[in-house]
A and B are shown apart, each in its own frame.
Chain A
Amino acid sequence: MGTLLEVEGLRVRFHTTEGVVHAVNGISYSMQEGETVALVGESGCGKSVSMMSILRLIPCPPGEVAEGRALFGRRDLLQLEEAELERIRGGQIGMVFQDPMTSLNPVLTIGRQITETLRAHTSSDAASARTRALELLDMVGLPAAEDRLQDYPHQFSGGMRQRAMIAMALACSPKLLIADEPTTALDVTIQAQIVELALQLRERLGMAIIWITHDLGVVAGLADRVLVMYAGYLVEEAPVHELFARPWHPYTLSLLAALPRVDRPRSSRLKPIPGSPPNLLAEAHGCPFAPRCDFVMDRCRTENPPLVQIEAGRKLACWANVETGQPR
């Protein structure tokens, strides 16, 4: 398998009336073809912005991609002409967003919205686009697809809208699917349906998936590899089994400790992470997690640890070793 996407030193800022928001602070990662990567973090940690900015889907201004490269194949997405990028968005890279109600156009039929993608990216005529749309709806498990093409988004339930969104994203058989919190607005039984669908489609179509989420439970069942973000930095990167079995970053560790388990009786009080995430208006001095960290040392307050490889496939940005409590 080859490398599909390689992001290097991505830095995104927003110029607001209150000052400069440092949303993404120089993150680097790569993705292999066919791989499923979860990008995990809490609200405002920059997980969505880091993906949307490489497709130039953030409003500029106030947004600004200050630095970085995003190599997709041999081309840098950040340097492409708008017209070239348009061919990639919805073509080789498909996207599914969090809220299926606001990301579908309420005044166009579902059929029209799917065929629009096809006609923009392929040379198909109306009839063949319609046939393909039916095929897609069937593939994402929308029964009676023939009638459904005439429906408007408001006639669909939340789960059906998300299926329709996935059908649109897959219309041109993308190599990469970016799913931004696709199940956050859904109930747990519907979330299970959508996750199951994603697993089936990945098997069948072999595309790579970036799943942006705050839900570590969903990540456990879905991802091959996990990237953990905090305050605009990547703080840990690991294969999914290792991340859950041996979390290395104090933030990852605390997040897992703060979660109650549905499959186990209550054992003790929850262990919350004290304080709240940092204000991104100020540029961090030292490690951004230091004020909330159990393992904090003097060095953490002055020097921000870089993300470095510790083992094959495992990267960490932390001065401490959480297994020994000693400096690394």
Chain B
Amino acid sequence: MSASADPLVRVEGLKKHFPIQRGVIIQRTVGHVRAVDGISFDIAPGETLGLVGESGCGKTTAGRTILGLYPPSDGEVWIEGVGVREAEGEAMRRLRRRTQMIFQDPYASLNPRWTVGSIVGEPLRVHRLRPRGSARTERVKELLALVGLSPRYVNRFPHEFSGGQRQRIGIARALASEPAFVVCDEPISALDVSIQAQIVNLLEDLQDRLGLTYLFIAHDLAMVRHLCDRVAVMYLGIMVELAARDELYENPLHPYTQALLSAVPIPDPELDRKRRRTILSGDVPSPINTPSGCRFHPRCPIAKEHCARLVPEWRQVGPGHWVACHEVEPKTLPST
């Protein structure tokens, strides 16, 4: 993506800390879960940015904080030039309409007592896009057709659908308010392999037709390579690497990214058994007491003494290739 276009989404120094409270009557804060601890990036219009990392790395919290579903503890987010923190009244309503979310669990994210028509029609009512009954029903049917469902399903309930079909309903609902930016939070993790490909292809088609911009949060690194233009890797609340898709997968610089990629099994016995693996020891530390210096140093295979003391700077080491590691030498940047 070219850097010349104004980004659709700009995130700067975003933090989200959740207080840990003790006590029943007199509550006091005894610490913080530093779920997101200072991340910065842009997303260009029409781009798909992948956000990957293991459970608890803060990727879902990041997605929700960007949309203002959680008030940020620090930092700023601008979407279509509007600051999410300051937006009020009409500006906030517009922001809510222009940003949407697709959730992981298609079973939990649809109200079981509502018909498909009312689920998909709700954003049309809330945002006064189709206030009247019959016009709304017509639009709901259009949306269902758009995501590959029969318009006849309007009066059915979520339990009558399979996981893949429910995810399509969730996508139709997200598209109802005509958003520009959609946060897809693990939209295929709960689905079977044969269905995952259907949903990924649908997301691609919708992007082409409607010019959508996606933040695609996932832990499936193979799918992210397939779908995303650029990929950001998170570890314990911070970003450790960000690069264009093939650059990240062919030339990962951060030792965590390297270990993560080498851990993904390849469906080819010849290749998989010959491959060199970096197997990380231990587990991800707690985001309450994050390690000093570089957060990855206790598990890092190349950690030096200074890694435990100094926080590595988030810096650009190649064209569009950002990394936070002391041990990565910058490549010579082409002179512009």
Residues of A at under 8 Å CB distance from B? Answer: 42-43, 157-160, 187-193, 195-196, 214-221, 240-241, 244-245, 254-256, 258-263, 265-266, 269-274, 276-277, 292
Contact pattern, B 215-253, Cβ under 8 Å of A = 1, otherwise 0: 000010111011100000000000000000110010000
Residues of B at under 8 Å CB distance from A? Answer: 54-55, 162, 164-165, 192-198, 200-201, 204, 219, 221-223, 225-227, 245-246, 249, 259-273, 277, 279-281, 283-284
CB distance from A224 to the nearest CB of B (A): 10
Separation of A192 and B264 alpha carbons in the complex (Å): 8
Taking A42-B192, A159-B283, A190-B283 as contacts, is the C-beta distance between A271 and B265 under 8 angstroms? no
Q: Would you call A221 and B192 a contact (CB within 8 A)?
A: no
Which residues on the B side are within 8 Å of A274 (C-beta)?
Answer: 198
Separation of A189 and B233 alpha carbons in the complex (Å): 14
Separation of A271 and B198 alpha carbons in the complex (Å): 8
Separation of A261 and B249 alpha carbons in the complex (Å): 11
In this complex, what residue of B is CB-closest to A43?
B192
Which residues on the A side are within 8 Å of B245 (C-beta)?
Answer: 266
Taking A220-B267, A266-B226 as contacts, is the C-beta distance between A255 and B261 under 8 angstroms? no
In this complex, what residue of A is CB-closest to B264?
A262
When A and B form their complex, what is the total count of cross-chain residue pairs whose Cβ atoms lie within 8 Å?
Answer: 136
Contact of A214 among B193, B219, B259, B264 (CB under 8 A): B193
Which residues on the A side are within 8 Å of B260 (C-beta)?
Answer: 188-189
Q: Would you call A217 and B267 a contact (CB within 8 A)?
A: yes
Q: Would you call B283 and A240 a contact (CB within 8 A)?
A: no
Q: Would you call B259 and A270 a contact (CB within 8 A)?
A: no
CB distance from A289 to the nearest CB of B (A): 11
Q: Would you call A272 and B273 a contact (CB within 8 A)?
A: no
Q: Would you call B219 and A269 a contact (CB within 8 A)?
A: no
In this complex, what residue of B is CB-closest to A239?
B269
Q: Would you call B221 and A188 a contact (CB within 8 A)?
A: yes
Which residues on the B side are within 8 Å of A218 (C-beta)?
Answer: 265
In this complex, what residue of B is CB-closest to A240?
B269
In this complex, what residue of B is CB-closest to A185?
B55
13 more CB-based (< 8 A) A-B contacts, given A192-B262, A260-B225: A159-B283, A188-B221, A189-B54, A189-B259, A189-B260, A217-B264, A220-B267, A220-B273, A244-B269, A263-B249, A263-B266, A276-B164, A276-B194
Which residues on the A side are within 8 Å of B262 (C-beta)?
Answer: 192
Q: Would you call B222 and A261 a contact (CB within 8 A)?
A: yes
Q: Would you call A258 and B283 a contact (CB within 8 A)?
A: no
Q: Would you call A270 and B269 a contact (CB within 8 A)?
A: no
Separation of A15 and B284 alpha carbons in the complex (Å): 44
Q: Would you call B198 and A272 a contact (CB within 8 A)?
A: yes
Q: Would you call A241 and B270 a contact (CB within 8 A)?
A: yes
Q: Would you call A272 and B265 a contact (CB within 8 A)?
A: no
Contact of A220 among B193, B200, B259, B272 (CB under 8 A): B272
Q: Would you call B267 and A265 a contact (CB within 8 A)?
A: no
CB distance from A16 to the nearest CB of B (A): 15
Contact of A221 among B259, B272, B281 (CB under 8 A): B272
Which residues on the A side are within 8 Å of B246 (C-beta)?
Answer: 265
Give the 6 A-B residue pairs with the shortest CB-CB distance, closest first. A217-B265, A272-B197, A260-B226, A192-B263, A273-B194, A270-B197
Taking A193-B279, A220-B265, A266-B226 as contacts, is the C-beta distance between A276 and B195 under 8 angstroms? yes
Separation of A48 and B251 alpha carbons in the complex (Å): 39
Identify which of A188, A255, A271, A276 gathers the most chain B CB atoms within 10 Å of its CB. A188
Separation of A217 and B264 alpha carbons in the complex (Å): 8
Contact of A255 among B194, B222, B259, B264 (CB under 8 A): B194
Q: Would you call A42 and B193 a contact (CB within 8 A)?
A: yes
Which residues on the A side are within 8 Å of B194 (C-beta)?
Answer: 42, 254-255, 258, 272-273, 276-277, 292
Separation of A77 and B279 alpha carbons in the complex (Å): 39
Separation of A28 and B279 alpha carbons in the complex (Å): 37
In this complex, what residue of B is CB-closest to A219?
B267
Separation of A188 and B266 alpha carbons in the complex (Å): 12
CB distance from B181 to the nearest CB of A (A): 23
